[in-house]
Amino acid sequence: MLIALVSTANSASRSNTGDVPDPSPGSVIRQVYGDSIEGEVSDDSTSSQLASYNGGHVVSLWYNYHFTLSGRQYYTGFTVLEPAEGSTSYSGVLFGHLTYVLKNDDGKPSWVSSYGDRATAEVPGIMRAPQIDDTRSPQTFITSDKNLVLAIPTTDFENGETFTNFTIFSFDPNKNDLGDYKSWTYLGTVAAGGENSANCGEGLPMPCVSSTGNLSFVAPTRGASKMPTIRVTLSGTEVAGPGETKTLGTADAVNYKINTTTKQYEQSE
C-alpha cells in the first residue's frame, strides 16, 4: 500500500510567485530517484514504489515548503524513503529533497532545480516518517550567516498516545548538493506536547491529559554557535504520577540546544 504524506495544501508554504506553477509532486520524485522507480510516475503522483532490485521500498513527497532567503525565492520538496512492508534489510527512513530557485530569464520567471539529494538524512530505528500536522504552522529562523532553520510540525502515534513534535532542518544556500555538499541538514526532533485520549479514561489506569507546545527561537548571544536555542512553552496537562495530573505553565518551558558534535537539537539542563 502506498501512503501519501504530502502537505501540498499547507497555507504557510504557499508562494507569492504569481502565476508560476509549483513543480509537480511527481516531477520532484522523478528527479530525486530517477531510474530507481518502478513504472511510470505521473505529475500528480505523491508516492511511488522503487524497483524490486532496490528493495521495493516506497518513496513519497513528504513535505513542500516555500521560503525567501537573502532576497531569493526557494521551493523545496522533501522526499522520504520508507521500507517496504515486511522488510528486514532497512533500518530506518531516508529523507531527501529537491530545492528550486525562482529565476527570471528574459522576463519569464520559472523554478530551476538547483539543489538535490536523495540522502539528506537517515533516521534509524523507525519504519515510517512522522505525519505532517497541518493544524500548526512551520516556524523559521535566519541565522547571522544567512542560513535558514525550519521547524516542521509533525505528529507520531505510539501505544495509545499522540506525540506532537517539530522536525528540524537547516538550509545553507552556499552548499550545493549537486556538487556533493549537503544544503539541507537534519537536526533532529523536539517534543511539543501530546495527548492520550486513545488510552485513558473510565476503567483505565491512565488519567486523560493533553498538552500543547508553542515553539520559539532564541538567538545566540555568545559563543561560536550561530544556531538558535529552541524554546517550547507548554500549556495543558501531563501525567504527574499514578492517577495524578499536573497543569503546565511557563515554568515548564523546555530549551533545546544544538549539539555541535552530533548536529542534533537536544534538551538542555
| pLDDT band per the 50, 70, 90 thresholds, residue 139 | very high
Pairwise CA distance, residues 222 & 206, whole Å:
44
Range with the poorest average pLDDT among 8-22, 38-52, 61-75: 8-22
pLDDT at 6: 37
| Nearest residue to 97 (alpha-carbon basis) of 130, 61, 55 | 61
How confident is the model over 195-234, as pLDDT tens digits? 999 888 887 888 999 999 999 999 998 766 799 999 999 9
Q: Residue 2 pLDDT more than 50?
A: no
Query: What is the band of 101 on the pLDDT scale with cuts at 50, 70, 90?
Result: very high
Q: What is the mean pLDDT of the chain?
A: 87
